[in-house]
Amino acid sequence: MNAKHKAFVIYMQKEGLADNTICSYIHTIENFKSLFGEFNLRNIYSFKGFLLENYKVKTVNLRIQALNKYLEFIGKDDLKLKFVKVQQQNFLENVISDADYRYFINCLKRDKRYSWYFIVRFLCATGARISELVQIKVEDVQNGFVDIYGKGGKIRRLYIPKCLCKEALKYFAQIKIDSGFIFNNRYGEQISPRGVANQLKNLAIEYKINPKVVYPHSFRHRFAKNFLEKFNDLALLADLMGHESIETTRIYLRRTSLEQQQIVDKVVTW
């Protein structure tokens, strides 16, 4: 990393950006430099065109955000790009169905893959992000909740349902774990989010579940959908999910594309 990029890192750290965000921004700037070199209007618009040809809109906007932050850092605010407008979908995409979720955990339990059984159970029963899941300790399960500290010192309380606590603590006692992180890799170290995501895909393929709907955040979506079906309180769900705005939570009032298709198939008979 050159001196300019090191200074950019310090600039972002002072602004309170997360380490993962900083790494992503540096990667974007290095990518730009390797493709186009100088930061001028022509090259910046060429970079935007390159992004649009190769990435989805969400990724394009993340790259533009990184580029704009760097342009701000070097004093070239006049070259900042506008974000690409995202057309909002009227359905949720690639969310595991409740039937597939229950089939999945039943298969894992049947085959005594208890560690993965509980990973999926905790994701779906708490609405945890994968970065939050790997922080849960036995002591948190004993308490029935874990406090997650986010940006700006904000605290989000992640509740663990009583029935899951009881089942998990019984399993922990059997394998003689009474403290520390509940999810570890084969080396006894805290499991990585990427490791969880990769193995979930492998398990989905093994059990003949569409791997596109089996990823950590899919179970967070399923938690939200199931919660609203049983307790229709959008404001409470927004708090439980840790959403800054209730507008973010409104997506869960929509049906998945599969649910929409099933309704159309049933209703439209003319």
Q: Is the domain of 118 the same as that of 196?
A: yes
Cα distance between residue 170 and residue 261, in whole Å? 41
Q: Is the domain of 73 the same as that of 193?
A: no
Q: Is the domain of 107 the same as that of 173?
A: yes
Letter string b/e over residues 204-217, b meaning 16 or more CB atoms within 10 A of that residue's CB: beeeebeeebbbbe
Q: Is the domain of 52 the same as that of 129?
A: no
Structural tokens at position 53: 């040809």
Cβ neighbours, 10 Å, residue 202: 12
pLDDT at 50: 87
- The answer to whether position 117 is within a domain reads yes
- The answer to whether position 92 is within a domain reads no
Q: What percent of the chain has pLDDT over 70?
A: 96
H helices of 134-256, in order, are 138-143, 162-174, 193-206, 216-230, 234-241, 246-249
Q: Is the domain of 217 the same as that of 254?
A: yes
Structural tokens at position 152: 């700006």
- The answer to whether position 122 is within a domain reads yes
pLDDT at 191: 86
pLDDT at 269: 76
Q: Is the domain of 203 the same as that of 249?
A: yes
Q: Is there a contact between 224 and 241 (Cβ–Cβ < 8 Å)?
A: yes
Please enumerate in sequence order all residues whose Cβ is within 8 A of that of 82, keeping only pairs 6 or more positions apart, or say none.
64
116-127 pLDDT, tens digit each: 999 999 999 999
Cα distance between residue 93 and residue 141, in whole Å? 31
Range of the domain at 26: 3-79
154-168 pLDDT, tens digit each: 788 999 999 999 999
The number of residues in the chain equals 270
Q: Is the domain of 115 the same as that of 245?
A: yes
* CATH code at position 239: 1.10.443.10
Report the domain count for the chain: 2
* CATH code at position 21: 1.10.150.130
Determine the average pLDDT of the residues in 59-86. Answer: 89
- The answer to whether position 86 is within a domain reads no
- The answer to whether position 119 is within a domain reads yes
Q: Please provide residue 244's backbone torsions phi and psi, each rounded to the nearest 5 degrees.
A: -70, -35
Q: Is the domain of 160 the same as that of 232?
A: yes
Q: What is the pTM of this model?
A: 0.66
Q: Is the domain of 226 the same as that of 257?
A: yes
- The answer to whether position 49 is within a domain reads yes
Q: Is there a contact between 220 and 123 (Cβ–Cβ < 8 Å)?
A: yes
Could you say which of 24, 51, 79 is where a domain stops?
Answer: 79
- The answer to whether position 153 is within a domain reads yes
Q: Is the domain of 149 the same as that of 239?
A: yes
Q: Is the domain of 152 the same as that of 231?
A: yes
- The answer to whether position 180 is within a domain reads yes
Q: Is there a contact between 118 and 168 (Cβ–Cβ < 8 Å)?
A: yes
Q: Is the domain of 108 the same as that of 225?
A: yes
187-229 pLDDT, tens digit each: 778 888 888 999 999 999 999 999 999 999 999 999 999 999 8
Question: 172: closest CA among 216, 141, 200, 198?
Answer: 141
Structural tokens at position 37: 């070199």
Cα distance between residue 242 and residue 256, in whole Å? 22
